[in-house]
Every structure is written in structure tokens, then in C-alpha cells.
Amino acid sequence: MADLIELVEVSASYGRIEALSGVSLKVSEGKVVALLGANGAGKSTTLNVISGIVPATKGDIRFRGKSIRRLGSDKIVGAGISQVPEGREVFRDMSVHENLLIGAQLRNDRAGIERDIEIMAGHFPVLSKRFKQMAGTMSGGEQQMLLIARALMARPKLLMLDEPSLGLSPLLVQQIFDIIVKLHREEKLTLLIVEQNAAVALAVSDYAYILENGEIAVEGRSADLAHDDSVRNAYLGT
Amino acid sequence: MELEVLSLFLQQGIASGLVTGSIYALLALAIVIVFRTTDVANFAEGEVYMASAYLAFFLIAIVSMPFWIAVPATVFAVLIGASLFQRVVLTQVAAAKGVSVNLVIATLGLSYVLKGIVRATGFGDTPRSFPSVMGEGSVTLGSASLTYLDLTILGAALAIMAVFFWMFNYTKIGRAMRAVGMNRRASQLVGINLGHVQMLVWGLSGAISAVAAILIAPKLLMTADMGVVVTLAFAAAIIGGFTSLPGAVVGGFIIGITENLVGLFVSSRAINVAPFVVIMLVLIFMPQGLFGGKVRVRKV
Ligand SMILES: Nc1ncnc2c1ncn2[C@@H]1O[C@H](COP(=O)(O)OP(=O)(O)O)[C@@H](O)[C@H]1O
Ligand SMILES: [Mg+2]
């Protein structure tokens, strides 16, 4: 199937510190790809380079065959790439409802936006009961769900999730991944999932990359990696 | 003091305080929206206000432009000027070395430039009176009396605030402005163009400052130093918590009313000190300002 997004030899740095050096990866349309690696490996940087928040110093990023490397972050969202950032970055002093509305900031189809809010309420029943509540007063798990719903409000083709399981109880992690998988199946959403929780991520993905110090160290089909003892010992800590 | 006089002073003090307070409130709003969305305390606010008054004066008295053209022309020119300052100067300064002190220094630079320009034209050499289009006359409310000009100032300022609050709270662009004030990165991730919003906010802040200047100018003698009143707008903003828009408005009215009451009840010489006593009291008893909200502990 066609590649939805492709990174070709992408490098990025913060000042003098090179965070990514020559990272190449691709996500085919309709697939789920996991990006794994230890803390500080460059996973978030990879997503932020795709989102246009951190500039790529070298290489190219192609979305549906066209380079998006020099596009602004707003244009990238407009093109169909949304990110669920790590760290519970909801708009704290806005209501849940307004957080959803602002997810659709680039859309102008009022009726469609209203309908999608209903759909989100269906996917995330906890949110539907709290539309008027300020987002900052919700629990970690609820904020994580709101972030996913907010990203979906932009109607992305590619959804990137940055450590959706971080800091959540196993039960909540299970709930969130169930929803993610359901979205993937029902809406044909292509997913790029960043995780430190490799077991969960490998279980739901088709293909996986393991980042080490800003470089892709291992890649392969998720099912293979999950059963490869050397990979498990070296990278997955199991 | 007799009860009747007391009541008269009180009513007049509050009425006049609302008029001057509405100008402080507008200027405080201009300061607060810029601070919230771009993290810059605009130390050129006073000079933007001063230069706006002179521009309107120049268009009306020298170019002989009709008032109803000169006013929107001034507001529009200041809006564009402030936007360009953000776009051209501040983004460059931030890109060169993203230290927020440098941004503040850039606004200080702007204040010198604006003062310099007004001085260079020669208009600032002697105090000028701004032409008023309001008829003479006054209205009595209770035992307080306000001139037509006073009522126009208060009415126009309140109308501007109402429109601004509506825009900020109920429109898409207002939502984007609030979002940028809360979380820059999250704003970018939902597709908000940070640069556009920040430029627009500077432009709006300039436009509000220009309106404030044009409203109050007929009551003042204009000089190149008239921007110092913005100290009181900063005081209003601080009282309101420095990031709250309702706080800025309430702060503005508190300062205006305090000044007028102190002038009537204590002495006109005490007027200058009064706002700072209010700031100190607020900061001692409510360190976050009246609308500053609670200190936030980040959940990990
Ligand atoms: N804003 C930043 N400024 C400077 N260095 C950063 C910044 N963000 C990340 N880094 C550094 O870049 C490297 C990769 O970070 P990151 O992409 O966040 O890793 P991961 O998401 O895999 O934990 C780390 O060494 C980290 O310290
Ligand atoms: Mg990370």
C-alpha cells in the first residue's frame, strides 16, 4: 500500500545537541506503526519534526509523496497530520467542549463539527458527562482521552500519539488502547504510536522502529520483534 | 464634613473616577492581552498611546481631515504599526536570542523611537489642546455632574470593552488568542498559526490604545510625556492579576475612582500616591492580584 508518510534521513538538533541523526521511517496508509525507545532516544523529537514544531536540519519529510519539511505547523495539521502530545497538554482553563471545538480550529463546516463532537462523546463517554468542566481539573486519564478526541476533531489522516500510556493505570492504558484500535479499524485511521511501554505497542502495531540515541537501531514487523529474544533483552527490558 | 457634602463628593468622585478609570481600563487591557499571548510587558504602551493622540491631532488640526475620517484612520494606522512592530522587530529579536529580557528592551527601544519622532516633528514642543467635537454641556446624575464629553468617553470605552470581550470569549479568533495565552505548543498542534495570532493581538492592543488616546485627549493638554499615565494602567493590570482581562478592567476602575476620591477627600497632592497605596494593599493581601487565580501545582 502507498506510504502515507515517509521520513528520509532526517536530522534535527537543539542548539548543538543533535537529537536525531539520519532517521528514515515510513508509515503506510491504514497501518499502525510503533516507534519505541528509551527515554531521551528522540521519539518526541521525531513527532515534533513531523508536526513542524522542531525544524529538520537535514533530510526530507514526505506526506502523500509531497515534501512537508518547510510547512508551518498549522499547514501540517491542515494537510491531515495531528499529534497527541505527551504531558497532558490540554487547554486547562477551557471547558472540555471548547477543547474539542478548538481541535477543529481549521475547519469551517459547523454541522460537521457538531456531529464530530457527538461522535467523540460516543467514543469517550467520560468526556460527554463533563462537557462544561474545565479541562485542567480532570484526572490524568480523562485529560489523555480529551487530547485524543481533540486531535481527532481535526479529522486527521495520520494520528501520532506520544506515549499515551504514560502515568496511567494498566486498566486505563487498556481502555485507551482499545479506543485507539477501534478508531483505527472503524475510521481507517493511520497511526504512529510512540511508546516506552513496548509490550502494549507491539501488540497493537503492524510494524515497529526502535530508536537509540537519535538513530533507528532496529526495525521490523511487530510480531517478529515481540518474539525476538535479542531485541527483547537489548531494548524492551523484558 | 457635612453629610450632604460627603455624599456629593462621594458621588462625584465615583462618577469622575469611572470616566478616567475607563481609560486606564482600556490601556490595561492593551497591556494584558499582549502579555498573555506574547509574554512581553509592553513598556512602549505609553508612547503608543501618546503617538496615537498626536497622529489624530496632526490629521485633524494640520491636515484638516474631518473628524470621522481622522479617527478610524488613526486607529487603523496604529493597528498596522503595532502589528508590524511585532512581526518585524519582536520576531527577529526572539529568533536572534529568545531571551524575554531582550523583548522588553525592544519595547523600550520603540518607546524612545516614538517619543523621538513626536519631538522631531516639533508638535511636542508646546502643550497642545486636542479639538473636541462634543458640544458643551453636562448631565446631572444624582448629585454628580458629568460633561457630554465625559459620558462619551465612558460610553465608548464600555462599548469597546463589550465588543472586545465578546470577540475574546465567543469567536473563533478569540478562542485562538486564549489558547495561545494558555499553551503555545498545544496551540500549534491544533493548527493555530502562532505568528498570525501574536501579530493580531499586538495590532488590537495598538487599536485599543489609539481609541483610549483619542477619547481622553480633549480633556488633556497634550505633551510628548503624556504617556506616563500608562503607569496607572500597569497598576490597574497588576491589581487585576496581570493576566486577567476582567481584572484589568476592574483594576482600571478601582484606580480611577481611588484617584478621584482621594483628590476630593484628602488633597489633590495625594492623587499621585494613591494608586500605589492601592497596589501595595492588593499585593500584600492578595499577592496574585484580584483576578490572578490560584498558584498552580503541576500534576506529574
Ligand atoms: N527542548 C529541548 N531542548 C534541548 N534538548 C532537548 C529538548 N527536547 C529534547 N531534548 C533532548 O533531545 C533528546 C531527545 O529527546 P526526546 O525526543 O524528547 O526523547 P524521547 O521522547 O525519546 O524521550 C534528549 O537528549 C533530550 O534531552
Ligand atoms: Mg518523549
Give the model confidence (pLDDT) of A67-82 as tens digits. Answer: 999 999 999 999 999 9
Give the pLDDT of residue A238: 53
- On the question of pLDDT at A187 being above 70, the answer is yes
The residue to which cell 533507528 is assigned: A216
Nearest neighbour of B172 by CB, restricted to A91, A105, A154: A105
pLDDT for residue A164 is more than 60: yes
Q: pLDDT confidence of A237, banded at 50, 70, 90?
A: low
Residues of chain A in contact with residue B189, where contact means CB-CB under 8 angstroms, are 51, 53, 73, 77, 82-83, 85, 89, 151
Taking residues A132-151, what's their average pLDDT? 94
Q: pLDDT band for B297, please (50, 70, 90 cuts).
A: very low
User: Do B272 and B229 form a contact (C-beta atoms < 8 A)?
Assistant: no
Provide the total of helices (H) and of strands (E) in chain B, helices listed first: 12, 4
Query: Is the C-alpha dihedral spanning B221, B224, B228, B230 positive or negative?
Result: positive
Confidence band for B163, pLDDT divided at 50, 70 and 90: very high
In this prediction, residue B130 carries a pLDDT of: 86
Instruction: Tell me the nearest-neighbour CA distance from A78 into chain B, angstroms.
Output: 7
> Quick check: A237 and A229 in contact, CB under 8 A?
no
- pLDDT for res B282: 84
Residue closest by Cα to atom 26 of ligand 1: A40
Residue nearest to atom 25 of ligand 1 (CA): A40
A32 bridge partner residues: A191
**In sequence order, which residues have a C-beta less than 8 Å from that of residue B262 and are 6 or more positions away?**
B270, B271, B274
pLDDT of res. B27: 97
Q: How far is the CA of A214 from the centre of ligand 1 (A)?
A: 10
A73 close to B (CB below 8 A): yes
Contact B191 A106 (CB under 8 A): yes
The amino acid sitting at A1 is M
- Domain B3-119+145-285 = CATH 1.10.260: no
Residues whose beta carbons lie less than 5 angstroms from ion ligand 2: A 44
Model confidence at B100: pLDDT above 90: no
A91/B299 touch (CB, cutoff 8 Å), yes or no: no
pLDDT band at B293; cut points 50, 70, 90: low
CA distance A192 to A35: 7
pLDDT in tens, B195-205: 999 999 999 99
> Which of B179, B185, B194 is closest, CB to CB, to A85?
B185
pLDDT surpasses 50 at B256: yes
Distance CA A135, CA A97 (A): 9
Please state, in angstroms and rounded to a whole number, the distance separating the CA atoms of residues B13 and B7: 10
User: What local confidence, expressed as pLDDT, does residue B298 receive?
Assistant: 38
Report the b/e string of B62-94 with b at 16+ CB within 10 A.
Answer: eeebeeeebbebbbebbbebbbebbbeebeebb
What ipTM was reported for this prediction? 0.93
Question: So what's the pLDDT on residue B270?
Answer: 82
Residue A227, classed as helix, strand or coil, is: helix
Range in A162-166, B27-31, B72-76, B291-295 the model is least confident about:
B291-295
Q: Is A82 on the interface with B (CB under 8 A)?
A: yes
Answer whether residue B294 shows pLDDT above 70: no
pLDDT of residue B143: 85
Q: What pLDDT is attached to residue B296?
A: 44
For the segment B51-66, the average pLDDT, to the nearest whole number, is: 93
| pLDDT at residue B263, rounded to an integer | 87
* Residue in the structure block whose three cell numbers are 514544531: A53
**C-alpha grid cell, residue B160:** 469597546
Cα distance from N-terminal residue to C-terminal residue, chain B: 60
User: Measured between CB atoms, which of B190, B193, B300 is closest to A103?
Assistant: B190
CB distance A102–B188 less than 8 Å?
no
Buried b (16+ CB within 10 A) or exposed e, B263-294: bbeeeeeebeebbeebbeebeeeeebbbbbee
Atom of ligand 1 nearest to the CA of A17: 5
How many angstroms separate the alpha carbon of residue A45 from the centre of ligand 1?
6
* Per-residue pLDDT at A1 exceeds 80: no
Give the per-residue pLDDT at B295.
Answer: 45
Q: Which of A53, A92, A150 sits opposite B190 (nearest CB)?
A: A150
Domains and CATH numbers, chain A: 3-93+158-236 (3.40.50.300)
> Which residue shows C-alpha cell 511487530?
A222
| Strand ranges in A107-198 using DSSP code E only, listed in sequence order | 158-162, 190-195
- Dihedral sign for Cα atoms in the order B90, B96, B98, B99: negative
Is the model's pLDDT at B33 over the cut of 70?
yes
Pick the closest to residue B17 from B278, B228, B226 (CA basis).
B278
Chain B closest-CA separation from residue A113 CA (Å): 13
Q: What is the pLDDT of residue B153?
A: 95
Please check the confidence at residue B51 and state whether its pLDDT lies above 50: yes
pLDDT digit string, tens, across residues A191-211: 999 998 888 899 999 999 999
Residue in chain B nearest A48 by alpha carbon = B189
Q: What is the pTM of this model?
A: 0.91
A175 vs B288, residue with greater confidence: A175
In the predicted model, what is the mean pLDDT of chain A?
93
CA–centroid distance, residue A86 to ligand 1 (Å)? 12
Per-residue pLDDT averaged across B197-224, rounded?
95
What residues of chain B have any CB closer than 8 angstroms to a CB in chain A?
A: 172, 175-176, 178-179, 182-183, 185-186, 188-194, 299-300
Give how far the C-alpha of residue A88 lies from the chain's centroid of Cα atoms, to the nearest Å. Answer: 13
Question: All 3 cell numbers of residue B117?
Answer: 519622532
* Residue among A236, A79, A218 at smallest CA distance from A157: A79
Q: CA B4, B10, B13: angle at the middle one, nearest 5?
A: 135
In B85-193, which ranges are continuous DSSP H helix? 91-96, 100-121, 148-170, 172-182, 184-189
For residue A94, the chain B residues in CB contact (below 8 A) are 175, 178-179, 182
pLDDT at B98: 62
Per the CB < 8 A criterion, the answer to whether B56 and B279 are in contact is no
| B280: closest CA of chain A, how far (Å) | 28
- The angle, 0 to 180 degrees and rounded to 10, between the axes of the packed helices B230-239 and B274-285 is 20
- Give strand pairing partners of A20: A12
The percentage of residues in chain B with a pLDDT greater than 70, rounded to a whole number, is 96
Mean pLDDT of A204-227: 94
**Alpha-carbon torsion, ordered A148, A153, A158, A163, to 10 deg:** -10
Q: Which three cell numbers stand for residue B217?
A: 485627549
Q: How many CA atoms lie within 13 A of B66 on its CB side?
A: 2
pLDDT number for residue A71: 95
pLDDT band at B291 (very low <50, low <70, confident <90, very high): confident
